[in-house]
A and B are shown apart, each in its own frame.
Chain A
């Protein structure tokens, strides 16, 4: 049985919508609160006492709903804020630093091999050289930063430790190649160089491969957050449902007052409704803005990483070409005479050509600034939670203000 407009009766069992229940109200149709909760069969009572109690209850419902909505909205806002913060202070910087470390290490290896080929006397050794040392230094700094910014938990920190461990082995072997060459010229020093370069570039578990893996882990985490993190339906509905409930209840309250008292809608309640509606719209706008800025930041990040990768790739190609020449010289003939591992390396390097002009070095500062600017723009401005809280407080005040005269009217009717 559903309640219709203006009909006299409605039962709690039949009313399955909030709106329906509201609409069904009419003079003489009040039901006892207890029966409405299903405690017994519907009982019709008079109109005298319940009205004030009903008003009080209604006000209570509104206040409670407002408080709950406020808490839900503020929590949702906080979740979003923390999410964006995490992306901005950990995941995104980590990705940039990993790409920077990757590039520095590829350059270091190239520098070591090039200086071996070009320089080197028995007295001075092949002097891995300043560029090698600088790049290793840059890589170590970046790795330390990655360890701090690691955003993928223990798997990430173990990978960083793995890379650091392997880097120790790598630099040791380069040092050994240097010492060996001082002692007796090429021969074993080429082998050391070869082993070292293998640690750096080996797939699937060389240093650079591990860094790629780590970067991919972070990128996946970032993309997961962006696509389902703060825009997660759960978070949105968590904020939206209480607001919708509150708006609904506010509307019901105003309709009730109008019907009951045959007065105009209480202006404060109307004001509260309008305020609430604008707050909702504002929240959606803030959310939309954040989302767009995050998207832009992600795109800028992709570009920054791609630029660094291109440089690393170029360094790798150059290193290959020099290494092939070095190895052919050592084995006396072609690279094929160096055993199956080198032969495969030589085959894979055939046809590679270093670019005549090296790509313009990435201006790392400008790139990361761009990424960070977008990220900063995506953040929820600090005043917003306070404004939101203030808005809800205003709504509460308006509810009080709206109900007070009505409740007051009935005050002396109680006995």
Chain B
């Protein structure tokens, strides 16, 4: 009889059906969470970072969910308060990093990275923090940005670039008399509006007063009302309050997003000639140039940079020691033999770990590897620069100018973090705000400095991050 066979076939069919039902039951609830990463990169920077993540996804099969927001600080704070921080986050503020490390929210990375990977970086960039008596490292620098640089359109600024501040101011006034506003300026950036102005003050202070003064101020030991700091503000005022020196005036500077500020350089006729901005601004220049002229930007030809000018004798620091006060750039033609290059100011995107899981360890180890560090800078036209020693300037995808920037970042010599990045958040926010107020009404400077000092006095000594400048 066939019934037993029927039964066996039937049994198999039923088994398959049950299995199918079971699978069907399971799939709606299957959730692979993967690793979550939070950072400030949006738009084209986001796309570039996703390429780095793609390399990781291909290599390991682990899924990564990236969330980007320019309000990353607030978002991170909200998530931490709710007890659900992201697995990894890229912080640009050493001050915030120090805070989270001390509060125990961050996981130390020494064991995760291993000694070999750590040796690929200057220890400064791994953000060593002293927690409970022991020093741990907490960060992997994803990319660095050079500050202390001034971009310009070569066709508007002929001749050798200004080497001193006074030369710079003179050239600016000359341009203004010729009918072009010399300076492009934009302060807007969601909740951090004003930070481009803080970059000005910091560069002026660093080059005018020297590295030691800068470092003391960055760690809250120097008053805002001190003569060095006050002088830095009034020096900036030569530009911002100068007649017709800023495109659209200071009101336009307030209302312009930092990403848009350089656009008028590529207008026909050009609206402004120079912009003081970090290396990452090139991404915006590329799209603005393309929109305005219809062809791609060539770095080095259509846009160039010169280093922040030094200050001449009248602006030089008092009692200069040899240890890096008001150094002159080594490139000055026909100058005296220089001991070493000027200190360089930079910012970095620091990847930190909030949740220690096998997948997050894999991702952060990957991000520290030479392979991963090479990806972003090697993208064509990239304005990302790696601090990994193994990633040579040669692998920068932006031509000679890019390689020049990369060389500056990795050359031996003093490197200083952007001071406001190292400030505790309350000081940084107040600094940003003071910039906006100063632009709006320069006569209020004394009141502003007083207020800044008042806030400084409310911050405990242990809340300041470590020194901003390396050895």
Contacts and interface: CB of A to CB of B under 8 A. Distances in A.
Contacts of B18: 68, 71-72, 238, 242
A18 B78 contact: no
Contacts of A165: 69, 71, 74-75, 77-79
Given A33-B4, A155-B65, A238-B24, 15 more contacts: A10-B2, A18-B9, A33-B1, A57-B7, A61-B7, A65-B10, A68-B14, A83-B28, A158-B36, A161-B78, A165-B77, A252-B6, A331-B252, A337-B248, A341-B257
Given A155-B65, A165-B74, A242-B14, A340 B1 contact: no
A299 B305 CA distance: 57
A232 B24 contact: yes
Contacts of B13: 241, 245
A73 to B, nearest CB: 9
Given A338-B248, A340-B263, A195 B190 contact: yes
Q: Which of B17, B191, B260, B441 has the most CB of A within 10 A?
A: B17
Q: Which of B1, B36, B67, B86 has the most CB of A within 10 A?
A: B1
SS class of chain B's interface: helix, strand, loop or mixed? helix
Contact of B28 (A162, A168, A229): A229
Q: Which of A33, A173, A341 has the most CB of B within 10 A?
A: A341
Given A83-B28, A165-B78, A199-B190, A342 B256 contact: yes
B10 to A, nearest CB: 5
Q: Which of B9, B25, B71 has the most CB of A within 10 A?
A: B71
A76 interface: yes
Contacts of A199: 71, 190-191
Interface of A: 3, 10, 12, 15, 18, 20-22, 24-25, 29-31, 33, 36-37, 50, 54, 57-58, 61, 65, 68-69, 71-72, 75-76, 79, 82-83, 86, 153-155, 157-159, 161-162, 164-166, 168-169, 172-173, 184, 187-188, 190-191, 194-195, 198-199, 202, 204-205, 225, 229, 232, 234-235, 237-239, 241-242, 245, 249, 252, 256, 327, 330-332, 337-342, 344
A3 B18 CA distance: 31
B186 A58 contact: no
A331 B24 contact: no
A166 B17 contact: no
Nearest to B25: A79
B360 to A, nearest CB: 14
Interface in B27-67: 28, 31, 33, 36, 42-43, 65, 67
A169 B186 contact: no
Interface in B186-244: 186, 188, 190-191, 193
Contact of B5 (A37, A86, A225, A344): A37
Contacts of B24: 76, 79, 232, 234-235, 238
Contacts of B257: 198, 341
A168 B17 contact: no
Interface of B: 1-10, 13-14, 16-18, 20-21, 23-25, 28, 31, 33, 36, 42-43, 65, 67-71, 74-75, 77-79, 82, 84, 86, 186, 188, 190-191, 193, 247-248, 251-257, 260-261, 263-264, 271, 436-437, 440-441
Given A68-B18, A340-B261, A36 B9 contact: no
Contacts of A344: 260
Contacts of A21: 1-3, 5-6
Contacts of A169: 71, 74, 190-191
A171 to B, nearest CB: 11
SS class of chain A's interface: helix, strand, loop or mixed? helix
B66 to A, nearest CB: 10
B14 A154 contact: no
B68 A154 contact: no
Given A36-B1, A162-B75, A339 B255 contact: yes
B2 A339 contact: no
B248 A331 contact: yes
Nearest to B19: A238
A69 B86 CA distance: 46
A349 to B, nearest CB: 15
B25 A342 contact: no
Contact of B3 (A76, A194, A238, A252): A252
A104 B8 CA distance: 63
Contacts of A76: 21, 24
16 contacts: A12-B5, A21-B2, A29-B1, A31-B1, A36-B2, A61-B3, A68-B17, A187-B251, A188-B437, A190-B255, A195-B191, A242-B14, A245-B13, A249-B6, A339-B260, A341-B255
